[in-house]
Amino acid sequence: MESVRKNYIYSLIYQLLSMGLPLLTTPYLSRILGPEKIGVYSFTYSIATYFILFAMLGVNNYGNRSCAVVRDNRKKLSETFSEIYVLQCIFACLSISVYVLYIIILSEANTVVAWIQLMVVISALFDVNWLYFGLERFKIVVNRNIAVKLVTVILIFLFVKSPNDIWKYTIIMASSSLFSQIVIWAFLNKHVSFTRPKISKVLLHVKPNLMLFIPVIAVSLYKTMDKIMIGTLSGMTQTGLFDNTEKMINMPLGIITALGTVMLPRMANLVAKNNLEKTKIYLTNSMLFVMFLSIGMTFGIAGIAETFVPLFLGEGFVDCIQLLVYIAPTIIFYSWANVIRTQHLIPNKKDRSYILSVLSGAVINLAVNFLLIPKYGALGAVIGTVAAEATVCIMQTVVVRKEIEIYKFFMNSLPFLVFGFIMYQVIEIIGKLSLGEMLVVFLQILSGTLVYVFLSILFLRFVHKNLFYGVYSSLFRKQM
Contact 339, 290 (CB under 8 A): yes
Highest mean pLDDT among 179-188, 321-330, 467-476: 321-330
Contact 73, 269 (CB under 8 A): no
Q: Say whether pLDDT at 112 is over 60.
A: yes
The pLDDT value given to residue 99:
94
Q: Could you give the angle at the alpha carbon of 182 between the alpha carbons of 66 and 264, nearest 5°?
A: 25
pTM of the full predicted structure? 0.72
The pLDDT value given to residue 245:
86
Arithmetic mean of pLDDT over the chain = 83
Q: Could you give the angle at the alpha carbon of 119 between the alpha carbons of 114 and 124, nearest 5°?
A: 120
The pLDDT value given to residue 475:
47
Tell me the pLDDT tens digit for each residue of 390-424: 999 999 999 888 888 888 888 888 889 999 999 99
SS3 label, residue 351 = helix
The pLDDT value given to residue 117:
92
Other beta carbons within 10 angstroms of residue 208's beta carbon come to 15
| Nearest CA among 351, 412, 418, 367 for reference residue 61 | 351
The pLDDT value given to residue 479:
41
The pLDDT value given to residue 465:
60
CA dihedral of residues 247, 248, 253, 257 (deg, nearest 10) = 40
SS3 label, residue 128 = coil
Q: Binning pLDDT at 50, 70 and 90, where does residue 327 land?
A: very high
Task: Work out the widest C-alpha separation in the chain, in whole angstroms.
Answer: 71
The pLDDT value given to residue 336:
92
Q: Say whether pLDDT at 250 is over 70.
A: yes
Q: What is the C-alpha separation between 339 and 290, in angstroms, rounded?
A: 8
Q: Which helix (H) or strand (E) holds 401?
A: none
What letter represents residue 314's amino acid?
A: G
Q: Binning pLDDT at 50, 70 and 90, where does residue 480 land?
A: very low
Q: Binning pLDDT at 50, 70 and 90, where does residue 474 land?
A: very low
Q: What is the C-alpha separation between 180 and 189, in angstroms, rounded?
A: 17
The pLDDT value given to residue 32:
85
425, HSE (Cβ side, Cα atoms, 13 Å): 5
Q: What is the C-alpha separation between 56 and 348, in angstroms, rounded?
A: 22
Tell me the pLDDT tens digit for each residue of 286-307: 888 889 889 999 999 999 988 8
Q: At what angle do helices 236-272 and 59-70 cross, to 10 degrees?
A: 20
Q: What is the C-alpha separation between 480 and 468, in angstroms, rounded?
A: 17
